Structure 1
Amino acid sequence: MNANNIETCLEYTDSKKLDSDTLKILYKDMVLGRNFEDLCAKMYYRGKMFGFVHLYNGQEAVSSGVVKALNHSDYVCSTYRDHVHALSKGVPAKEVMAELFGKETGCCKGRGGSMHIFSAPHNFLGGFAFIGEGIPVAVGAAFQSLYSKKVLKEAGEMKVSVAFFGDGTTNNGQFFESLNMAVLWKLPVIFVVENNQWAIGMAHHRSSSVPEIYKKASAFGLPSIEVDGMDVLAVHNVAKEAVARARSGEGPTLIEALTYRFRGHSLADPDELRSSQEKRFWIVRDPIQRLKKHILDNNIYSIDQIEAIDQEVKQELDEAIDFAINSPEPNVADLYKYLFV
C-alpha cells in the first residue's frame, strides 16, 4: 500500500488464505461480540445498566479483523462504542459486563461504565465519550513505542497502536492534526475509520465534502485503503499488512471500513431516521452469517463444530451475567479512592 495506490476490497475474501485456527478465532470473537451486545440490550431494558449504552451490532468484522491481527502488547484506543473492542483485545467478558453493571469487580472497578472501558493489563487504553478523543491518545502511545525502541533501545518488536473512530470524527480537527503528526514522525499507528454511514442522526454523505474518507489521507502522504467492513477476512488481511508496515518502522496507515450498525445510535435512540430499505440492504450482509456460510461452503468446519463454538460463547456469557449480578457494589467509603495516584 502507498498513498498513490488506493485499494478497494468489496468482494468476499477467499477463506483458504487463512488457516482454520484463525478462522475459528475470528468467528468466535464476532459471535462473542454480537451476543454480548444483545445481552447488554436485555439488561439495559431491565434496568441493570444506566446512562447511555451504544451497541456495536453489525460492525463486528472490523473489531475482530483488526484487533486479532495485533499482539497482546499492542495498544488499542476506542470510542463510546467500546465493549466489543475490549472483548476482542482480550478483556474478559465478565469484567466488561460487571463494569457495565457498575460493580466493584468491573475492569474499572465500576467507575467507568459503558463509554469508558479501560484495561491496563490488556493495553486497552479506553473508550472515550467525545469523538476524536482517543485518536491523539493512540498517537501518543505510538510515539512512546517509537521512542522506547529507537532511543531507549528497548528489546523486542515495535509495539503498534490502533485508533478506532467513526465517520463523523473525520471532520474533527484532532483527526487531521493526528494524521499529520503520525506521518511526520513515522509513528507505528493505524487509524481505523468505522464508517457506519451515520454520525448519530446525520447521514455521512450529507456532512462531508469528501465522502470517501480514505482519500483525505492523501493530503498528508498517508497510505490509505478502503475495505468492505462486513467481510472479516478482507479486514483482517488489510490489518495484517498495516500492522507489519507499522511494526517495521514504515509508519502509519489509514483504513476506512465500510460497515453499518444494526441498532440505533444508542439504546435510547428510536432509530426512526434510517429507512427500512437501507437497513435491509446492510442486514443481509451480516458479517457473522457471511463468514459462517463461507466456512461451511468450504468444508472448513462442520455445522456441529460451529454450533459447539456458539455454545462455548453462550456459556461464557451466562457466566459473565451471573458474575456481574452477584458482584458487590462499590463501597461508598471508596468514593475518592481512584481520583489520585
Structure 2
Amino acid sequence: MDFEQKIKSYPNLELLPPQVLTLYEDMVLGRYFEDMCAQMYYRGKMFGFVHLYTGQEAISSGVIKALKQSDYVCSTYRDHVHALSKGVSAREIMAELFGKETGCCKGRGGSMHIFSKKHNFLGGFAFIGEGIPVALGAAFQSVYRKQVLGELNELKVTACFFGDGTTNIGQFFECLNMAALWKLPVIFIVENNQWAIGMAHPRSSSVPEIHSKAAAFGIPGEEVDGMDVLAVRKVSEQAISRARAGEGPTLIEALTYRFRGHSLADPDELRSFQEKEAWTARDPIKRLANYIVENNIAKSSALEELNRTVKAIIEDSVEFATNSPEPSVEDLYKYLFL
C-alpha cells in the first residue's frame, strides 16, 4: 500500500506516514540524548548547570520540524533538544557539552549556549527572556531584506522558545508589542511546564492563561496540548503560514511538564509525587507510539528497531566526544571580539 492509499485509509491523518515517523524519531532522539546527558553529568563528564528537556519533546519536534531549513530558531538554557530538532548533530552537541574542540561552539559555549550558524540556530541563553530580542532581530532582518533590500526570497520565519516564568518580565511584553507593530514573521512559543524553577506558575502570574496575553497586542494567542506532537504540529503550521504571509506573530502556549528537576543539580523536592505521576502518564513519546501502531502507520517492531538505531547514534556521540581533543590553551583568545 503506497502513502497516498494510506492517507485515504486514515482521513483524520493530516501528515504523511513518513512525516509522523520523523516526528517520532526526533522525539526519541531528544529523549535518549537527554538521558545520556544525565548519565554523563553524574559521571563527571559535564560541568556547570545542565537543564534537561525530558517530557517536553513534543513541542520541539512539533514546531521545529514544521519549519524550513532556512528558518531560524532561538532557544533558552534548555536548548539541547531544540538544536537536535533543527539539525545540529548529536556528535557536535555532545562534544560541546564535554567542552571539546569538536563541539558546535568549539567547546566554548557549553550546555546553555548551543549555537550553529549553519543551521540558523541562534543559540541558547543563560538568562530568561534573553533570547526574545535576538529572535525579534532575526525576524526584523527577514522583513528588511525583502522590503528594503528587495530580495525576492520568501520571508524567513523565526521560532522563539521560552518558559512560563519569562512571560512575567518586561522583555516579553516589549518584544511582543514591537513584533505586532511591525508584523514580524516570528512565532513565540511558551513552553509552560508549570514551574519556573521552584515557583508554581499559578502563584506567579495574575493571568495564568498565558495565551490570553496576546490580546493586549492584537495578535492570535493559541493554547495547545504540549504533550501531543500532532496537535503542536497543527497549530505551528498555522502560525508559520501566517508569519510567512506577512500577517505577523502568533503566541502559542504549549502546556507541558518537565519530567526531571529544573537542572541536574536540582533535587526536585518541591513538586508532589502525584503531580509528577499524572504528567508522566501522558508521556508524549508513548502517546505518539500508540497512535502510530493503532493507525497501522508502522508496527511496534519497526518502532523498536528505530529506537535501537537512535540509541546507537547517542552512544556514538559519547564516543566521539570522549575521543575529541580539548581546546588548546594557545587558542584562549580565539573566536573573541577584541
Q: TM-score range by the shorter chain?
A: over 0.9
Aligned-pair distance for 1:100? 0.1
Structure 2 counterparts to residues 172-211 of structure 1, below 5 A: 172-211=169-208
Q: Displacement, 1:303? A: 1.3
Cα distance in 2 for partners of 1:187, 1:270 equals 40
Q: Take 2:149 and 2:302, find their aligned partners in 1: how far apart are those partners?
A: 47
Match of 2:117 in 1: 120
2:108 is aligned with 1:85: no
Aligned residue identity for 1:34: R
Distance in 2 between the 1:73 and 1:30 partners? 21
Alignment of 1:302-341 (within 5 A): 302-340=299-337
Q: How does 1:249-268 map to 2 (within 5 A)?
A: 249-268=246-265
1:162 to 138, 150, 159: 159
- For 1:138, give the aligned amino acid: A
So what's the TM-score if we normalise by structure 2?
0.96
Counterpart contact for 1:15–1:233, Cα < 8 Å: no
Task: Report the alpha carbon displacement of residue 285 of structure 1 after superposing the two structures with TM.
Answer: 0.2
Distance, in Å, in 2 between the alignment partners of 1:145 and 1:312 is 37
Structure 1 stretches of 4+ with a deviation exceeding 6 A read none
The CA distance in 1 between the partners of 2:21 and 2:325, in whole Å, is 35
**Residues 29 and 15 (structure 1 numbering): CA distance in 2 closer, same or farther, change over 3 Å?**
farther
Shift of 1:157: 1.6
Show the counterpart of 2:3: none
The answer to whether residue 44 in structure 2 is matched with residue 39 in structure 1 is no
What is the rounded CA distance, in whole Å, between the counterparts of 1:222 and 1:129 in structure 2? 28
> What secondary structure, in the 3-state scheme, does the structure 2 residue paired with 1:155 have?
coil
| Aligned equivalents of 2:291, 2:203: Cα separation in 1 | 35
**What pairs with 1:231-270 in structure 2 (closer than 5 Å)?**
231-270=228-267
| TM, length-normalised to structure 1 | 0.95
Q: Match of 1:205, as an amino acid? A: P
Distance 2:204 2:300 in 1: 44
Q: Deviations over 1:97-124 (max 9, x none)?
A: 0000000000000000000000000000
Percent identical among aligned pairs is 73
How far apart in 2 are the matches of 1:248 and 1:190? 13
Question: How far 1:320 moved relative to its partner?
Answer: 0.5
2:22 pairs with 1:17: no
Gaps of 5+ in 1: 1-13
CA RMSD for the aligned pairs?
1.1
- Name the residue aligned to 2:126: 129
Number of aligned pairs? 329
How far apart are residue 309 of structure 1 and its match?
1.1
Q: 1:9 maps to what in 2?
A: none
| Structure-2 separation of matches of 1:139 and 1:281 | 36
Greater RCO between the two (CA within 8 Å, min separation 6)? 1
